[in-house]
Structure 1
Amino acid sequence: MARPVRRVARATAVLTVLLSSALAGAQTASSQKADKGEIQRGRYLVMVAGCNDCHTPGYAAKNGEVDEKLWLTGDALGWSGPWGTTYPVNLRLFMADMSKQQWVKHARTMTPRPPMPWFNVRPMTDADLKAIYAYTRSLGRGGDPAPAFVPPGANKPGGPLVQFPG
């Protein structure tokens, strides 16, 4: 009698493992679909929020006709005014080692130097910010870090600048 019980127990264990694996695979496929949707929404938000205008080299000058593999890699075009000279950060490198929650917190509390319109980012929903994060992270690391901030009164940096009055 012990052998049939062992066979049933063994068959039950094998069946449990197989079903668990199948369910895990189904959940992974489902979350990948959700992730794909979130990534697509993030791409859309990056486009309509104008993130590429500054954070993608040549985007505005080329009427948005820039290869997506260059998107959000920062720019060496400086923005100069009474605050000094700032450069659009490489968001792909910036977010690379940041969790989704850290990004949302950063987006809610940042007060960067001009011309970054942080006041347009803060009202975004958590879902919007998470979608932007998902899209940016989906691009992978790319590009180089942006040039460092140059304080007011320091030697003007070389390279192209947009000069604000003041």
Structure 2
Amino acid sequence: MTRWVLIGITALGLSGLLATVTLDPSEMGAAAATDSIERGRYLAKIGGCNDCHTPNYLEKAGNVPEDRWLIGDSLGFNGPWGTTYPTNLRQLLRTMSEDEWVKSARTIETRPPMPWFNLRAMTEADLRAIHRYVLSLPADDTPVPDYVPPGRPPKTPHIVFVPQAPKP
């Protein structure tokens, strides 16, 4: 039970991503491109993106090979909004240009527990670095379950986000 509580609490503080870009080192210079990718790796790690978007990341205290990062997860988050699943960011970001990602991150509003407001607070340079980092990872089309509307039971393991009254 403690593990699921930890996952749920951490999920509330996550910072995610949703975009894609083609990195052209000739435009940036190889050193700048590498620095930007490293910055994106750092932001994805400390921003909590892996906490939800990488299977078993929390349970293994971050000890998940990087080639498995950000592929989404079938562990759902259930609440009054229905049941949401962490997006496969590698797949999603490959459908967006870097500019489209920045625009999306500036306007997105998603269901819990994704902290979309954290994306909006990031600098443009940070958003671009995240996009470049995600695109530097190998493509991965691991499927993620579809959103389940309120009132319908999820068919996968899920964390329930329902406030509990204190016991007398």
TM-score by length of 2: 0.79
Conserved 8 A contact 2:82-2:148: yes
Structure 1 vs Structure 2: percent identity of aligned residues? 53
Q: CA deviation at 1:102?
A: 0.2
Which amino acid in structure 2 is aligned with residue 59 of structure 1? Y
Residue 51 of structure 2 is aligned with which of 30, 50, 53?
Answer: 53
Q: Deviations over 1:18-49 (max 9, x none)?
A: xxxxxxxxx83961211111000000000110
Count of residues paired in the alignment: 139
Q: Deviations over 1:34-74 (max 9, x none)?
A: 11110000000001100000000110111000010010000
**What SS does structure 2 have at the residue aligned with 1:122?**
helix
Greater relative contact order (CA < 8 Å, ≥ 6 in sequence): 2
Task: State the alpha-carbon separation in 1 of the partners of residues 130 and 64 from structure 2.
Answer: 19
Structure 1: runs of 5+ lacking an equivalent: 1-26
Specify the alignment match of 1:124 in structure 2. Answer: 122
2:159 is aligned with 1:162: yes
Task: State the alpha-carbon separation in 2 of the partners of residues 76 and 134 from structure 1.
Answer: 25
Which amino acid in structure 2 is aligned with residue 140 of structure 1? P
Q: Deviations over 1:77-130 (max 9, x none)?
A: 000000000000000000012100000001010001000001111110000000
* Larger Rg computed on CA atoms: 1
TM-score by length of 1: 0.80
Structure 2: runs of 5+ lacking an equivalent: 1-24, 164-168
Specify the alignment match of 1:144 in structure 2. Answer: 142
Residues 66 and 165 of structure 1: is their aligned pair in 2 closer, same or farther, counting only changes over 3 Å?
same
Residue 82 of structure 1 is aligned with which of 77, 80, 98?
Answer: 80
Task: State the alpha-carbon separation in 1 of the partners of residues 147 and 28 from structure 2.
Answer: 43
CA-atom RMSD in angstroms: 1.5
Task: State the alpha-carbon separation in 2 of the partners of residues 138 and 37 from structure 1.
Answer: 12
Q: How is 1:1-166 mapped onto 2 (pairs within 5 angstroms)?
A: 28=26, 31-154=29-152, 156-165=153-162
Structure 1 residue ranges, 4+ long, deviating more than 3 angstroms after superposition: 27-30
Conserved 8 A contact 1:42-1:134: yes
